[in-house]
Structure 1
Amino acid sequence: MRGRWCTARERRAGAWRGGPSAAVRLGAVAVVLGTTTATVGPAPAAGAAGDSARAATPAPYGFAEGARTVDGARSTADAPRLTLGTSYRSSLPSSGKVSYALDLDATSSAYVSVTAVPPAGSGVSVIDGLKVSVQDAEGNSCSSDTANFGAARSPHPIAAWGVREISPVKSLCQKAGTYYVSVERSDPEGEGSSPGPWDLELLTVTEPPAETGATSAPRVWDSATPQPRQGTPERRRGGAGFTRATPLDEGVWRDDIRPGQTLFYAVPVDWGRQLSVTAELGSSDSGGTGYASGALDLALYNPARGRAADVSVGYDGDQNSGSLPPLPPVDHANRYAATAQVGAMRFAGSYYLVAHLARDVADSFGDGPFPLTLRVRLGGEARSGPGYTGKSRPEGVFDVSEQDREAAVEGVPASGDDTLMRMVAVGGIGTGTALLVGLGAWTLTARRRGAA
Structure 2
Amino acid sequence: MGRRTVRGAVVAVVLCVAAGLGAGPGAGSAAVAAPGAYAYDFAEDARTVEGAASTTDAVGLEPGGTYRSTLPVNGRLYFRLALDATSNAYVSATAVPRQGTTVASSDGVKVAVQDADARSCSYDSTRFGASHSPHPVAAWASRTTDGETTACQGAGTYYVVVDRIDSAGSSSDDWDLELTYVSEPSLVDKVATTAPESSEAWDSASPDPLTGDAVRREGGAGFATAVPLGQGVWQDDIAPGRTLFYRVPVDWGQQLHAIAELGSSNAGSSGGGYVSSALVMSLYNPARGYVDDEGLVYNGSQSSAALDPLPPVSYANRYGVGDRTSGMRFAGSYYLVVHLAEQVTERFGAGPYGLTLRVQMSGTAQDAPGYLGQSVPRDTFAVTEQDREAAGGWTSGGVAGGTGSDGTDTGGGGDNAAMQVVAASGIGAGSLLVLMLGLWTLLARRRAGRA
TM-score by length of 1: 0.81
Superposition map of 1:263-274 within 5 A: 263-274=244-255
Q: Which moved more, 1:255-264 or 1:285-294?
A: 285-294
Is 1:251 aligned with 2:232?
A: yes
CA contact (8 A) 2:391 2:413 kept: no
Deviations along 1:338-368, one digit per CA (max 9) or x if unpaired, are 2221000001000000000000000010100
| Corresponding position of 2:89 | 110
Change (3 A) 1:86 1:438: farther
Give the Å deviation of 1:39. Answer: 6.0
| Corresponding position of 1:193 | 170
Please tell me the residue identity of whatever aligns with 1:314. Answer: V
| Corresponding position of 1:332 | 315
Give the Å deviation of 1:216. Answer: 1.4
Q: Which moved more, 1:346-355 or 1:221-230?
A: 221-230
Give the Å deviation of 1:421. Answer: 8.6
**Structure 2: tracts of 5 or more residues without a match:** 1-16, 393-400, 403-410, 436-451
Deviations along 1:104-131, one digit per CA (max 9) or x if unpaired, are 1111000001000001111111111011
Q: 1:316 aligns with which of 267, 275, 299?
A: 299
Q: Secondary structure at the match of 1:434?
A: helix
Please tell me the residue identity of whatever aligns with 2:83. Answer: L
Q: 1:374 aligns with which of 331, 335, 357?
A: 357
Please tell me the residue identity of whatever aligns with 1:283. Answer: S
CA distance in 2, matches of 1:352, 1:329: 16
| Corresponding position of 2:123 | 144
Is 1:206 aligned with 2:183?
A: yes
Is 1:88 aligned with 2:29?
A: no
Deviations along 1:51-88, one digit per CA (max 9) or x if unpaired, are xx873332510000021000001111111111111000
| Corresponding position of 1:433 | 426
CA distance in 2, matches of 1:146, 1:393: 24
Q: Secondary structure at the match of 2:56?
A: helix
| Corresponding position of 2:441 | none
CA distance in 2, matches of 1:344, 1:276: 15
Change (3 A) 1:215 1:441: farther
CA distance in 1, matches of 2:414, 2:433: 19
Is 1:231 aligned with 2:212?
A: yes
CA distance in 2, matches of 1:141, 1:402: 38
| Corresponding position of 1:445 | none
Q: Secondary structure at the match of 1:215?
A: coil
CA distance in 1, matches of 2:425, 2:258: 39
| Corresponding position of 1:58 | 37
| Corresponding position of 1:362 | 345
Superposition map of 1:275-286 within 5 A: 275-286=256-267
Change (3 A) 1:403 1:294: same
| Corresponding position of 1:100 | 79
Please tell me the residue identity of whatever aligns with 2:240. Answer: P
CA distance in 2, matches of 1:321, 1:110: 36
CA contact (8 A) 2:390 2:412 kept: no
CA contact (8 A) 1:93 1:198 kept: yes
Change (3 A) 1:175 1:116: same
| Corresponding position of 1:128 | 107
CA contact (8 A) 1:37 1:431 kept: no
Deviations along 1:316-344, one digit per CA (max 9) or x if unpaired, are 00011110111000011110112221000
| Corresponding position of 2:446 | none
Compare relative contact order (CA 8 Å, sep 6+) and give the higher one, 1 or 2.
Answer: 1
TM-score by length of 2: 0.82
Q: Secondary structure at the match of 1:101?
A: strand
Give the Å deviation of 1:396. Answer: 1.1
CA distance in 2, matches of 1:169, 1:59: 43
Is 1:182 aligned with 2:161?
A: yes
Q: 2:384 aligns with which of 389, 397, 401?
A: 401
Please tell me the residue identity of whatever aligns with 1:224. Answer: A
Superposition map of 1:435-450 within 5 A: 435-437=428-430
Change (3 A) 1:162 1:420: closer
CA distance in 2, matches of 1:166, 1:428: 46
The count of residues paired between Structure 1 and Structure 2 equals 391
Is 1:304 aligned with 2:297?
A: no
CA distance in 2, matches of 1:156, 1:407: 27
Give the Å deviation of 1:431. Answer: 4.6
| Corresponding position of 2:141 | 162
Q: 1:72 aligns with which of 51, 67, 80?
A: 51
Change (3 A) 1:420 1:398: closer
Deviations along 1:376-428, one digit per CA (max 9) or x if unpaired, are 000000010102111111111111110110110168xxxxxx98895975468
CA distance in 2, matches of 1:420, 1:279: 24
| Corresponding position of 1:16 | none
Change (3 A) 1:312 1:425: same
Structure having the higher Rg: 2
Q: Secondary structure at the match of 1:137?
A: coil
CA contact (8 A) 2:146 2:186 kept: no
